[in-house]
Amino acid sequence: MSSGAGTAKRPSQWAIWFFGALGGILWGYDTGVISGAILFIPDDIPLSSLEQGTVVSGLLVGAMLGAGVSGRLADTLGRRPLILLGGIVFVVGTLGAALGVNVAMLVGFRFVMGVGVGIVSVVVPMYLSELAPARIRGRLTSLMQLLVTVGIFLAYVVDYAFADARDWRWMIGLGVIPAVVLAIGIYTQPESPRWLVAHGPGGGENGVSTARAVLERLRGTPEAAEAELSEIRESVRVEREHTEKVAIGTLFSPRLRRLTLIGMLLVFFQNFVGINTIIYYAPTLLTDVGFGATDAIGANVAIGAVNMLMTLPGMWLIDRAGRRPLLRWGAVGMCLAMIVLAVTNLVGLEQGPLLLGLTLAGIVVYIASFSISWGPVQWVLLPELFPLRVRAGAVAFCVTFNWLFNMTVALLFPSLLEAFGAGWNFLFFAVTTAAAYLYATRLLPETKGRSLEEIEKDLAGPVTA
What Å distances lie between residue 226 and 215, 235, 328, 407, CA to CA?
8, 14, 38, 44
Helix runs in 187-292, H state only: 193-199, 204-219, 222-241, 257-272, 275-288
Q: What's the confidence (pLDDT) of residue 12?
A: 54
User: Cα–Cα distance between 361 and 373 in angstroms, integer?
Assistant: 19
Q: What's the confidence (pLDDT) of residue 202?
A: 53
Residue 354 has pLDDT above 70, yes or no: yes
| Highest mean pLDDT, choosing among 66-80, 155-169, 192-206, 399-413 | 155-169
162 compared with 241, residue with greater pLDDT: 162
Residue 6 has pLDDT above 60, yes or no: no
User: Cα–Cα distance between 391 and 401 in angstroms, integer?
Assistant: 16
Per mean pLDDT, which range of 143-157, 333-347, 357-371 is the poorest? 143-157
The DSSP code sequence of 45-107 is: S---HHHHHHHHHHHHHHHHHHHHHHHHHHHHT-HHHHHHHHHHHHHHHHHHHHT--SHHHHH
Q: What's the confidence (pLDDT) of residue 241?
A: 60
Residue 349 has pLDDT above 70, yes or no: no
Percentage of the chain with pLDDT > 90?
Answer: 18
307 compared with 49, residue with greater pLDDT: 307
Residue 465 has pLDDT above 70, yes or no: no
Q: What global pTM score does this model have? A: 0.71
Q: What is the chain's Cα-based Rg? A: 22
Which phi-psi region, left, alpha or beta, contains residue 203 (left: φ > 0; alpha: ψ -120 to 50)?
Answer: left
Band of the pLDDT at 9, cuts 50, 70, 90? very low
| Highest mean pLDDT, choosing among 4-13, 136-145, 245-254, 402-411 | 402-411
The DSSP code sequence of 319-348 is: TTT-HHHHHHHHHHHHHHHHHHHHHHHHTT
Residue 25 has pLDDT above 50, yes or no: yes
Q: Convert the pLDDT of each residue in 284-302 to its tens digit.
A: 777 877 777 788 888 888 8
Answer positive or negative: Cα dihedral of 427, 429, 431, 437: negative
Residue 10 has pLDDT above 60, yes or no: no
Q: What's the confidence (pLDDT) of residue 274?
A: 83
220 compared with 1, residue with greater pLDDT: 220
Closest of 122, 41, 117, 111 to residue 75, by C-alpha = 122
Closest of 409, 407, 455 to residue 67, by C-alpha = 407
Answer positive or negative: Cα dihedral of 296, 346, 422, 304: positive
Q: Convert the pLDDT of each residue in 381-399 to its tens digit.
A: 888 888 877 887 888 888 8
Residue 102 has pLDDT above 50, yes or no: yes
Band of the pLDDT at 238, cuts 50, 70, 90? low
- Give the chain's length: 465
Per mean pLDDT, which range of 154-158, 217-221, 378-382 is the poorest? 217-221
Please, which residues have CB within 8 angstroms of residue 288's CB and are 6 or more apart in sequence?
Answer: 417, 422
Per mean pLDDT, which range of 15-29, 48-62, 435-449 is the poorest? 15-29
Query: Under a CB-based contact definition with an 8 Å cutoff, are residues 245 and 390 in contact?
Result: no
Per mean pLDDT, which range of 191-195, 305-309, 373-377 is the poorest? 191-195
Residue 333 has pLDDT above 90, yes or no: yes
User: Cα–Cα distance between 58 and 341 in angstroms, integer?
Assistant: 28
Q: What's the confidence (pLDDT) of residue 184?
A: 85
Percentage of the chain with pLDDT > 70?
Answer: 90
User: Cα–Cα distance between 132 and 316 in angstroms, integer?
Assistant: 15
Q: What's the confidence (pLDDT) of residue 243?
A: 44
User: Cα–Cα distance between 164 and 412 in angstroms, integer?
Assistant: 29
